[in-house]
Structure 1
Amino acid sequence: MGNAHAASWPWTSSPDPAQKLEAVVPVPSETIAPPPVAVAPVTPAQPTSAVDSTSSPVDATSSKPTLGTFEDLHKPCKELALQPYEGLRFMVNKGLSSHFQVQHTVHLNNEKSTYKFGSTFVGSQQPSPTEAYPVMIGEMSNEGNLQAQLIHQFGNRLRLKCIGQMAGPKFQSIQLGTDLFLKDSTISVVTADPDPLNGTGMLIVHYLQAITPRISMGSELLYQRGGGRQQAMLTLAGRYQTEDWQLATTLGMAGLHASFFRKANENVQVGVELEASLKTMESVTSLAYQFDLPKMNLLFRGMLTSDWTIGSSLEKKLAPLPITLNMTGTYNIKKDKVAVGLGAVLG
Structure 2
Amino acid sequence: MEGGAKPDNLPLFPNNPGFQDEWSRKLKDLFPVPLDGAKITLNKMLASRFQLVHTVNLSDAGGAGPVPGASMGPPPYTFQATCVGKAEHEELTPVLMAEMDNSGSLNGQIIRNLSNRVRCKAVVQTQKSKWVMTQGALEYKGNTYSASLAAINPDLLACTGIMSSSFLKRITQNLILGCDFTLHNSQSQLKTSAGLCGRYSGTNWEIFGNLNNGGFQTGFYRDCGKTSAVGVEWECSAIQGESTVSLGYKIDLTETGNFCVRGSLDTSGTVSAVYEKRMHPFLLTLSGSMNHFRGLSKFGFGLTIG
Query: TM-score w.r.t. structure 1 length?
Result: 0.79
* 1:120 paired residue among 53, 70, 82: 82
Residue of structure 1 equivalent to 2:270: 309
Secondary structure at 1:80 match in 2? coil
Distance 1:227 1:328 in 2: 45
- Give the unaligned 5+ runs of structure 2: 1-10, 64-75
1:300 to 2:289 alignment: no
Which residue identity does 1:69 align to in structure 2?
F
Contact 2:198 2:209 in 1 (8 A): yes
1:328 to 2:287 alignment: yes
Distance 1:49 1:340 in 2: 45
Which residue identity does 1:240 align to in structure 2?
Y
Residue of structure 2 equivalent to 1:282: 242
Secondary structure at 1:105 match in 2? strand
What is the aligned residue count? 283
* 1:197 paired residue among 139, 157, 163: 157
Which has the larger strand fraction? 2
Residue of structure 2 equivalent to 1:42: none
Contact 2:123 2:135 in 1 (8 A): yes
After superposition, where does 1:11-50 map in structure 2 within 5 Å?
49-50=13-14
Which residue identity does 1:75 align to in structure 2?
R
Contact 1:50 1:68 in 2 (8 A): no
Distance 2:38 2:12 in 1: 39
Contact 1:123 1:135 in 2 (8 A): yes
Distance 1:111 1:259 in 2: 31
Residue of structure 2 equivalent to 1:73: 23
What displacement does 1:252 show?
1.3
What displacement does 1:125 show?
4.7
Distance 2:23 2:284 in 1: 31
* 1:208 paired residue among 168, 187, 191: 168
Distance 1:154 1:265 in 2: 38
Residue of structure 2 equivalent to 1:11: none
Which residue identity does 2:297 align to in structure 1?
V
1:243 to 2:203 alignment: yes
* 2:187 paired residue among 227, 233, 250: 227
Contact 2:35 2:302 in 1 (8 A): no
Residue of structure 1 equivalent to 2:134: 174
Query: TM-score w.r.t. structure 2 length?
Result: 0.89
Runs of 4+ in 1 over 4 A off after TM superposition: none
Secondary structure at 1:152 match in 2? strand
Instruction: Name the % identity.
Output: 30
1:71-129 deviation digits (Å, cap 9, x = unpaired): 3333321222221120000000001111111010000001225100100001125334x
Residue of structure 2 equivalent to 1:147: 107
1:217 to 2:177 alignment: yes
